[in-house]
Amino acid sequence: MLKLYDYWRSSAAYRVRIGLNLKGVDYESVPINIMPGTDEQMREPYRSLNPQMRVPALETEQGLLTQSLAILVWLDQTYRNHPFVPADPWESAQVRAFALTIACDIHPLNNTSVLTRIKLEFSADDDHVGEWYRHWIKLGFNALEHQGEQRAQTKYVFGGEPGLADIMLVPQMANARRFNTDLSPFPRLVKWDEEARKHPAFIKAAPENQKDAQKT
Ligand SMILES: N[C@@H](CCC(=O)N[C@@H](CS)C(=O)NCC(=O)O)C(=O)O
């Protein structure tokens, strides 16, 4: 069985949990506590297993996979039911652009290690950290909301079934709510997120429904 090195509050791991559930693939979740101060991702035995020292990582029959987007592509190519991206090259590029805005332009700037560094090395207090966090979300969400306005209204981000864009959006919206981001300028994103969170694959993947939730 696949083994997912996971953390309930990790939005990157949340993406992979949704992907696994949409494909209907059984997996074992192995929690790695990344809370600052505990930092299991930086300690043995996880550090040797995944020198990147981040979650998620997926243990497969062929070896360990890291990076949530690479894992999602592998899942999509390995399990052909419920495709995550459309077959059409133009449409699939739109979906990937949406996903990469979150994966490359928002998430890396708001990662735990980045927040810890601006606190410890640059004396940012909690208010500054919150401002920093919300700043990058607002910039990225502005682009996604504006691009969404150019398209017809759809149930999910790119059509009638949830795909890669929804897999990326829902965890990022959870982060945005956690840091009290004003989401009123992003009505389409809010609507898509609300819709996706009713889907069983997304419910099962939700942070509060993980075995390590709130205990750590
Ligand atoms: N680009 C990576 C990001 C992985 C990542 O940064 N995960 C965070 C949790 S969401 C983490 O493990 N952080 C630990 C740290 O920053 O020390 C991916 O998409 O998998």
- Say what the pLDDT of residue 167 is: 98
Supply the Cα-derived Rg of the chain in whole angstroms: 17
- Please list every protein residue whose CB sits less than 6 Å from any atom of ligand 1: 10-12, 34, 41, 54-56, 67-69, 103, 111-113
For the cut 60, the answer to whether the pLDDT of residue 54 exceeds it is yes
Look at residue 5 in the predicted model and tell me its pLDDT.
98
Cα separation, 128 vs 210, in Å, equals 30
How many CB atoms neighbour CB 115 within 10 A? 19
- The pLDDT assigned to 85 comes to 98
What pLDDT, on the 0 to 100 scale, is given for residue 215? Answer: 58
Q: In the sheet where 57-60 sits, what is the strand order?
A: 27-31, 2-6, 57-60, 63-66
- Ligand 1 centroid–CA 54 distance in Å is 5
Kindly state the average pLDDT of the residues 69-83. Answer: 98
The pLDDT of residue 23 = 98
Percent of the chain with pLDDT over 90: 95
pLDDT reading at 216 higher than 60: no
pLDDT at 115: 94
186/140 Cα distance (integer angstroms): 11
165 neighbors 98 (Cβ within 8 angstroms): yes
Q: In 3D, which of 25, 31, 27 has the Cα closest to residue 6?
A: 31
Give exposure, 156-186, as e/b (b: 16+ Cβ within 10 Å): bbbbeebbbbbbbbbbbbbbbeeeebebeeb
Residue 102 CA to residue 96 CA, distance in Å, equals 10
The rounded Å distance from CA 69 to ligand 1 centre is 12
Q: How confident is the model at residue 11 (pLDDT cuts 50, 70, 90)?
A: very high
Ligand 1: nearest atom to the Cα of 10: 10
Give the three-state DSSP class for 65. Answer: strand
State yes or no: pLDDT of 210 exceeds 90.
yes
Residue range 107-128: average pLDDT?
94
Ligand 1, atom 12: closest residue by C-alpha: 54
Instruction: State yes or no: pLDDT of 61 exceeds 80.
Output: yes
The helix-helix angle for 89-100 and 126-149 (nearest 10°) equals 160
**What is the 8 CA–ligand 1 centroid distance (Å)?**
12
What is the β-pairing status of strands 2-6 and 27-31? parallel
Protein residue whose Cα sits closest to atom 2 of ligand 1: 67
Taking CA atoms only, the protein residue closest to ligand 1 atom 20 is: 67
Res. 37: pLDDT tops 60: yes
Closest residue (by CA) to atom 10 of ligand 1?
10
pTM over 0.95: yes
**Which band of pLDDT confidence, cut at 50, 70 and 90, is reported for residue 214?**
confident
pLDDT tens sequence across 143-153? 999 999 989 89
Q: How far is the CA of 29 from the centre of ligand 1 (A)?
A: 16
Q: Mean pLDDT across the chain, nearest whole number?
A: 96
Ligand 1 centroid vs 154 CA: distance in angstroms?
A: 30
For residue 88, how far is its CA from the centre of ligand 1 (angstroms)?
Answer: 30
